[in-house]
Structure 1
Amino acid sequence: MKVFKWLLRILPIVYMAAIWTMSSLPSNHIVELPDSQIDSFIKESLHLIEFAILYVLLVLASLTFERRTFTPLWNIACAVFAGLYGVSDEIHQSFYPYRSASLFDLVKDITGILVCFYFIRGALFKGKFVRLRRVLERIQM
């Protein structure tokens, strides 16, 4: 169980490094689909989940610490941190000629975070989403 907790604690850092690295590369460096419209659609859609995943990883890492540490305020801090990392990623991309930074991408990033925030907040602090709550509470133990 200790290995699992440490893995959850390290994952957000590894994921942030992966985001930073991929933001430094051309968008077609890792994969490019034959149909450019589908390729563009999928890559633009990933903005909705990229930083939502970071937020969820931050929550999971936080849950591995003492039970009382994960409060509604700490949950907000995780969401804000993920959003600010999204801002820094857009700024970072603006320095590369083959990448673009846009306010619309940032809106998609924050939308994904807010959707996950709604579910996690509801499960842990509002008595909703019982199955999700059970999963998250198992991580807290």
Structure 2
Amino acid sequence: MKYVLRLLPVAYMAVIWIMSSLPSNHFVELPDSEIDRFIKESLHLIEFAILYVLLVLAILTRKGEFTARLNILCAVIAGLYGLTDEIHQSFYPYRSASWFDLVKDVTGILVCFYFIQGALFKGRFVRLRDMLGIVRKF
């Protein structure tokens, strides 16, 4: 299980890269274009937050202490990958890249960072801390 958790961030990053290379309507396009756009724009809030959480889970499976610095490093890596993704999208005529998309990416990361930081280092969110502790045992 720990090896699966360690490989998940890399696999997820590959999926992001591939999907960023395709038109936004390649997989799904809803009949109402406004709703379709709203949902796809909202996904920026969770796409890189998921990457951050996967990075945290991967690091929790290794021996050694998970420090606040490692937690920040996970958030920075996820944010930098969000920036890389926006740059990557700018090379495709059927995709768009914007600073606002990057802000949404980072916002999602920061929300998850708040909860994980609170659970692991501030004594808050006990259930989340317990769930992360289970991952630590892998």
TM-score range, shorter chain: over 0.9
Task: State the Cα deviation string for residues 81-102 of structure 1 (Å, max 9, x = none).
Answer: 0000000000000000000000
User: Shift of residue 121 of structure 1?
Assistant: 0.3
Aligned length in residues = 137
Structure 2: where are the runs of 5+ without partners?
Answer: none
Is structure 2 residue 135 aligned with structure 1 residue 139? Answer: yes
Alignment partner, residue 43 of structure 1: 40
Identity %, equivalent residues: 75
Is structure 2 residue 8 aligned with structure 1 residue 7? Answer: no
Contact persistence 1:122–1:129 (CA under 8 A): yes
Q: Once superposed, which parts of structure 1, at least 4 consecutive aligned residues long, lie more than 3 Å away? A: none
User: Shift of residue 57 of structure 1?
Assistant: 0.2
Alignment partner, residue 30 of structure 1: 27
Is structure 2 residue 124 aligned with structure 1 residue 121? Answer: no
Q: Which of 74, 84, 89 does residue 85 from structure 2 map onto?
A: 89
Contact persistence 1:67–1:140 (CA under 8 A): no
| C-alpha RMSD over aligned residues | 0.5
Structure 1: where are the runs of 5+ without partners?
Answer: none
Tell me the secondary structure at the aligned position of residue 46 of structure 1: helix
Query: TM-score, normalised on structure 2?
Result: 0.98
Is structure 2 residue 13 aligned with structure 1 residue 16? Answer: yes
Matching residue's letter, 1:25? L
1:41-120 aligned at under 5 Å gives the runs 41-68=38-65, 70-120=66-116
User: Shift of residue 67 of structure 1?
Assistant: 3.9
Query: TM-score, normalised on structure 1?
Result: 0.96
User: Shift of residue 138 of structure 1?
Assistant: 0.7
The separation in 2 between residues aligned to 1:139 and 1:97, in whole angstroms, is 41
Task: State the Cα deviation string for residues 39-79 of structure 1 (Å, max 9, x = none).
Answer: 000000000000000000000000000141x1100000000
The separation in 2 between residues aligned to 1:31 and 1:17, in whole angstroms, is 19
The separation in 2 between residues aligned to 1:115 and 1:66, in whole angstroms, is 26
